[in-house]
Structure 1
Amino acid sequence: MQYEAILAPLDGFADSWRDFVAGGGKGGNVTVPFKEQAYQLAEVLSARAQQAGAVNTLYLNAQGQLCGDNTDGLGLVADLTRLGISLAGCTVLLLGAGGASRGVIGPLLDAGVTYLVVANRTVSKAQAIAANFDSRVQACSLQAIPKQTYRLLINATSSGLAGERPDIDIKHLNGCQLAYDMVYGAEPTAFMQWAKQHGVPQQADGLGMLLSQAAAAFNIWRGVTPDIEPVLAMLKLQLKA
């Protein structure tokens, strides 16, 4: 098989996909800013894609239909499991209400999370996401986060790209076992550093999630799930080079 990057014009994703299929393409990954367009283009959507409102994995089924899936949540759950976090009965504080949050809530609930709070600067965006789920999911602003213990704290904002972190009170770190930032880089993000300074025992970035969602997509296409550990070690070395 061949797997390579294709740069689609902002207003030409559908045409680029059709050209790819006409040239023999069977499946592909989709990244920003095209995940919503891929959702609209797909003829058959998985439950995960419907919940997320976005597609990051496309493939043709045996009937030739274009199928859309979303493996972001699978990637996060797989990485959390790799890090030793048990999601059964877990309470989660999820920061941010963008596409990254939408894609992971369903798989987190399926993995056993019993209570999840989506906190966002603009509370209406968090409420719009929570409305897609049952009472296990609540929404609030960053300043009105319910006071309780969150075993897992996930930063799904892009603040780390600017060297910043979401503006939340340190009291929400009490009892937290893992501070997870979906952003990744050569050094720990500001969010990870902040959590470590205030006693959170474990911090992780999103590189493992990136690889795990790719492995889940590969399984959809080929029926085999690759081992991410050798690739993870290689990428960590490359990031520090």
Structure 2
Amino acid sequence: MLKLEDSYRHKGQRRELVNVIRKKGIKNEAVLNAINAIPRHFFFDSALHSHAYEDKAFPIGEGQTISQPYTVAFQTELLEVNKGDKILEIGTGSGYQAAVLYLLEAQVHTIEFQPKLYERTKKFLPRIGVKVKFYLGDGSKGLPQKAPYDKIIVTAGAPVIPNDLLKQLKVNGILVIPVGNRVSQKMMKLTKISETKILQEEYDNFAFVPLLGTGGWR
């Protein structure tokens, strides 16, 4: 079995990573504390451990990546997570974003399109004490059987905002989703003011892997 060791060196590298993210504009101390608490090198093959605390995205197989820590922090800050929030994550991937949400004491439901990533992460996260609900399926349709949600976060680039996700959001809930083409997306924050009114805010450009499924890039 893979041995998971979190050394003083790793902890020091995490502190440096948090300083980098803070300098880039992340202000939410709870989010920064979560990033500081999670051994990101656990999510990497041992050959890549030396890169684990760089503020960069890295491949994890199946055409997917573990997101850049700044991007994870940026999306999480926009989500305005409160203790006990019921959150749907679209795109489990490595499980790093789900781990951040879990440490913020949210109830996390996470759905993954790729079977191999789903199986791998479903086994891995409990080993490091992260307890979330895992689902395999088309996240572009959301997860209607567990709706409604306080918050929804999409960790892949969508061509449009899937209407199914807005339907599954509670009134006063927040959806954070990157929207654009396959190369570059604007980060969107949508607050559901009422069943018929959505407040839409637009942020910087990011580059995510494509959202797959009927509401994404098929």
TM-score using structure 2 length: 0.47
Higher percent of residues as helix: 1
Q: For the pair shown, which has the larger CA radius of gyration, 1 or 2?
A: 1
TM-score using structure 1 length: 0.44
Higher percent of residues as strand: 2
